[in-house]
Amino acid sequence: MAEEIDFEGLVEYLEQSFLDDVRNRAFAISRKEREEAYKNIMSAAKAYAKANSIPAERRVAKIVSNCINIIYHFYRSKKDYAESIIAMDTVDAITEIIDEAKAEIVSTVKENKGSPFSTENLLEEACSGDIEVVSDRISTILRSMSIRHPLYPDYGYTMQDDVRVSKPLTADAIIKYPPRFAFRGAMRAGDKFFNDPNINPLNYAYRHQVELVMEISEAKKLLGTQDDPSQHEAERLIGKELHIAPPEFPPTIPCSLIIDGKTYYEYILVLECKTKPVAEISRKRYRRKFAPSRPLYEVCS
């Protein structure tokens, strides 16, 4: 398989030369020297692990980076050496601390290889046809992840399109914490961009019957009032456009406008809308007359 590597070879490198190489990367005064040492570490690790493909090289790089981080945080937590680390002039003083991390690093690599939940073991079982076993283990992993969701037991995690997303676990989860998105970006209706906060873009789009478009520059997913711990869905929307079609106008009806017997408009089109009961209208009386050709509205004072 593309991701297969020689774990024994990698462990051999970690036990023999890795710590010396890390000392050069972590404590060389010159940044250029540290960068060169880092490249040498990766090249040596890939060679020992026989990483002959891009996926395999990425896998080795991730393992080695994790090992380097273990060492870094290990000695970083030692306050007695904080000034020495920053000055990078007492290499020998922290050598013992790095050596103490050696057993933990090697143990981590070996445990990952032997774990039934490791990537290589899951792939091997899938290829051998143990689909049910793989499915059960993946479900176990997802359940373990879900417990750590900030809104558990209402929400947990699942995988969707190869990324982790939040998933409602209870019947009323969506009611208690409704999922929604918050957007920020440039908004326009037709060719008109809105820069005036006093103008309501939704009203403008409705009055002119034009589509409202938002060019999304920032996006965030919320569950109720809380940020969703998984923002993959929101991140995918950045750079895209959100299109909002306005509601259509209600039907129009032809009318004549007559006030106190005087005709002001012989023929106009009026939007058909709901009117208030006469009892709710103060100081005005509305009377409606019907003509054979069109309705006639007369306003009497």
Q: With bands split at pLDDT 50, 70 and 90, how would you rate the model's confidence at 27?
A: low
Looking at residue 63, its pLDDT comes to: 84
Tokens 């750079």 found at:
239
CB atoms within 10 A of CB 205: 23
Question: pLDDT, tens digit, for every residue of 132-170?
Answer: 755 666 666 777 777 888 898 899 888 887 788 999 999
What is the length of the chain?
Answer: 301
Q: With bands split at pLDDT 50, 70 and 90, how would you rate the model's confidence at 29?
A: low
Write out the DSSP string of 94-147. Answer: HHHHHHHHHHHHHHHHHHHHH-TTSHHHHHHHHHTT-HHHHHHHHHHHHHHHHH
| Nearby residues of 294 by Cβ (< 8 Å), 6 or more positions away | 253, 254, 255, 256, 267
Looking at residue 227, its pLDDT comes to: 94
Question: pLDDT, tens digit, for every residue of 74-114?
Answer: 666 665 555 545 555 444 445 455 555 655 666 665 555 55
Cβ proximity of 286 and 278 under 8 Å:
yes
Q: With bands split at pLDDT 50, 70 and 90, how would you rate the model's confidence at 297?
A: very low
Cβ proximity of 246 and 201 under 8 Å:
no
Write out the DSSP string of 159-174. Answer: EETTEEEEEE-STTHH
Looking at residue 129, its pLDDT comes to: 61
| Nearby residues of 301 by Cβ (< 8 Å), 6 or more positions away | 259, 260, 284
pTM higher than 0.75 for the full model?
no
**Cα angle for residues 85, 87, 90 (degrees, 5° grid):** 65
Question: pLDDT, tens digit, for every residue of 166-209?
Answer: 999 999 999 999 999 999 998 888 788 887 778 888 888 888 88
Looking at residue 170, its pLDDT comes to: 92
| 3-class secondary-structure state, position 50 | coil
Question: pLDDT, tens digit, for every residue of 208-263?
Answer: 888 999 999 999 999 999 999 999 999 999 999 989 888 888 887 888 888 888 88
- Cβ density class 265-277: b for 16+ within 10 Å, e for less: eeeeeeeeeeeee
Nearest C-alpha neighbor of 75 from the set 52, 100, 42: 100
- Pairing assessment for the beta strands 212-223 and 241-244 based on DSSP bridges: antiparallel
Looking at residue 295, its pLDDT comes to: 37
The pairs formed by 143-150 with CB atoms below 8 angstroms and a separation of 24 or more are: 149/229, 150/226, 150/229
Phi, psi of 118 (to 5 degrees): -70, 155
Q: Using the predicted structure, report yes or no on whether residue 44 has a pLDDT greater than 90.
A: no
Looking at residue 92, its pLDDT comes to: 44
| Nearby residues of 223 by Cβ (< 8 Å), 6 or more positions away | 151, 155, 166, 177, 178, 179
Q: Using the predicted structure, report yes or no on whether residue 274 has a pLDDT greater than 60.
A: no
Q: Using the predicted structure, report yes or no on whether residue 33 has a pLDDT greater than 80.
A: no
Which conformational region is residue 14 in: left (phi greater than 0), alpha (psi within -120 to 50 degrees), or beta?
A: alpha
What's the DSSP call for residue 229?
S
- Pairing assessment for the beta strands 226-227 and 192-193 based on DSSP bridges: unpaired
Question: pLDDT, tens digit, for every residue of 47-80?
Answer: 888 888 888 888 888 888 888 777 766 666 665 5
Looking at residue 267, its pLDDT comes to: 73
